[in-house]
Amino acid sequence: MKSNSDSLTPSAYIDSKQAKDRLRNTLAAYESLHVPDIADVMDQFKDKLIFIYGGGCYGQATFQTFSKYGVSVKKFLDIKAQPGDTLFGIPVHRADDELLDARDKERAIVVTALVKDHTTREGIFDFIRGCGFKTIVDAQSIRCHSVYFDNKLAADKISVHIKKQSEDILRCFDLFKDEHSQKVYYANSMAHIMRKYDNCLESTESVQYFPDDIFFDKGYGRFIDCGGYIGDTVDQLLAIKEEVRAIAVFEPNMDNFLKLSLNMNNYSSRISELYLWPCAVSDKTDIRFMDYDGGSSALNSENKKNCVQCVSLDDVLKNFAPTFLKMDVEGEERKTIIGAEDIIKRHRPDLAICVYHCINHLWDIALLIDSWNLNYEFHLKTHNSCTMETVLYATSRTTGA
């Protein structure tokens, strides 16, 4: 299940010119190339013995994907499993359960449904191997095939969109000046173009949203968190940054929001300006509809059941004057930036924008911000496998008005 294509490998020896030339050549020859889809990927698992490691939301979503394509799952493996546990009527075991058949371990494919940093994942993989399992597949290599253009499974195939946007794909390459960002952009672009994700480049030395090797001109003093979840990013921010003075957090999932609000009580004496909004964010302020999938939420105009208040940042943060703007809003990032255009142009905050929920966001978002001529410098890092958790970092070297 590994790709052997050298053109996809983000080699340490490839230089910027070679990377861009390979990208250009691939786009030029695109119509003659075979690009696999999710059905092709799932065919590789049919008639195999499949175990899913992880019984949480991601593991359950992975199970649903396998079921949709007619692939049976024999067991779940989970570190918290208790004797007799089941999920979807399927037994759940610890990976080190002595009741597991040694012959099954030899031939099983363990699909790991984890969203962890590289070091943590490698430790878990070592644990699974130590339990006697031979074959491990990262579920992210399956999940990435659900990433599309602007989160819409339109009638057009991915190849149609790629051909239409080939000039933008190449133009965005030149926005990144540092070598690591260029390699990440090259590797991610090629992965999406070819729909082969085995050889993606991961920024293993950086902490997501808080990279030490990027100098942010404005810093974290006045922080906006779009997609605050239960406050995990704020927890990390306040654990490592002393200069934080004001925080505004947006989280539309009410269960998450209530946990966030409770968590933020821990910081009420430290942060004098602490604003929490139980709202989604986008380009306009209105009522929208939302899908809830475990702990995550995504706007969906087709779902008429779950109403949610949606706001644009320009409408609700009139005098906040942010120094740092972080976004992880499940594919709504480009629209949210449009809804924050005035804030960005006036204050030129440092940016950390997730660009992995939609394929075209990898280039569209940087090109959009660059079109405003605010003198932003762009960096790109991927904090998980298979293009997942890819973040566009940007800092403006020009002081705003």
- Residue 203: both structure tokens together: 């920024």
Average pLDDT estimate for 349-366: 97
The pLDDT confidence band at residue 5, using thresholds 50, 70 and 90, is very low
**pLDDT at residue 167 above 90?**
yes
pLDDT at residue 157 in the model: 76
- The model carries a pTM of 0.91
Which range, of 5-9, 104-108, 175-179, 392-396, averages the lowest pLDDT? Answer: 5-9
Strand 90-93: give its sheet, edge to edge: 86-87, 90-93, 75-77, 50-53, 109-112, 135-138
Query: Residue 280: what are its φ and ψ, rounded to 5°?
Result: -80, 165
The pLDDT confidence band at residue 302, using thresholds 50, 70 and 90, is low
The pLDDT confidence band at residue 250, using thresholds 50, 70 and 90, is very high
pLDDT at residue 294 in the model: 55
- Residue 328: both structure tokens together: 């992880």
Q: What is the CA radius of gyration of the chain?
A: 22
C-alpha–C-alpha distance, residues 113 and 27, integer Å: 32
pLDDT at residue 289 in the model: 85
135-138 and 109-112 as β-strands: parallel, antiparallel, unpaired?
parallel
Count of all residues that appear for the chain in the document: 401
Q: Which residue has the higher pLDDT, 298 or 278?
A: 278
C-alpha–C-alpha distance, residues 245 and 237, integer Å: 12
Average pLDDT estimate for 110-116: 94
**pLDDT at residue 26 above 50?**
yes
CA angle 276, 279, 281 (to 5 degrees): 110
Average pLDDT estimate for 300-317: 85
CA angle 137, 140, 141 (to 5 degrees): 65
Percent of the chain with pLDDT over 70: 92
pLDDT at residue 301 in the model: 62
Average pLDDT estimate for 350-359: 97
Query: Residue 36: what are its φ and ψ, rounded to 5°?
Result: -70, 155
Q: Tell how many helices (H) and how many strands (E) occur in the chain.
A: 15, 17
**pLDDT at residue 61 above 60?**
yes
Please write down the HEC assignment for all residues of 339-368: CCHHHHHHHCCEEEEECCCECCHHHHHHHH
Residue 234's DSSP bridge partners are none
C-alpha–C-alpha distance, residues 191 and 169, integer Å: 13
Percent of the chain with pLDDT over 90: 78
Average pLDDT estimate for 60-88: 96
**pLDDT at residue 247 above 70?**
yes
pLDDT at residue 397 in the model: 85
Q: What is the DSSP string of 94-124?
A: -TT-TTS-HHHHHH-EEEE-----HHHHHHH
Average pLDDT estimate for 332-345: 98
Average pLDDT estimate for 178-195: 94
pLDDT at residue 158 in the model: 80
The pLDDT confidence band at residue 154, using thresholds 50, 70 and 90, is low
pLDDT at residue 4 in the model: 32
pLDDT at residue 32 in the model: 83
To the nearest 10°, report the CA torsion of 87, 90, 95, 101: 170
Q: What is the pLDDT of residues 359-374, one digit of tens each?
A: 999 999 999 999 999 9
pLDDT at residue 152 in the model: 62
C-alpha–C-alpha distance, residues 231 and 327, integer Å: 13
The pLDDT confidence band at residue 290, using thresholds 50, 70 and 90, is confident
Q: What is the pLDDT of residues 320-336, one digit of tens each?
A: 999 999 999 999 999 99
**Summary mean pLDDT of the chain:** 91
Average pLDDT estimate for 236-244: 95
State the distance between the two ends of the chain, measured CA to CA, in whole angstroms.
53
Q: Is 373 exposed, middle or buried (0-12, 13-18, 19+ CB in 10 A)?
A: exposed
C-alpha–C-alpha distance, residues 27 and 30, integer Å: 5
**DSSP assignment letter at 160:** H
Among candidate residues 259, 320, 255, the one with its CA nearest the CA of residue 292: 255
Q: What share of the chain is helix, strand, coil (3-state, %, to 5)?
A: 35, 20, 45
**DSSP assignment letter at 149:** B
Which range, of 137-151, 169-183, 342-356, averages the lowest pLDDT? Answer: 137-151
The pLDDT confidence band at residue 6, using thresholds 50, 70 and 90, is very low
392, amino acid identity: L
pLDDT at residue 10 in the model: 46
Q: Which residue has the higher pLDDT, 115 or 297?
A: 115
Among candidate residues 324, 326, 313, 320, the one with its CA nearest the CA of residue 221: 324
Q: Is 368 exposed, middle or buried (0-12, 13-18, 19+ CB in 10 A)?
A: middle
**pLDDT at residue 401 above 70?**
no
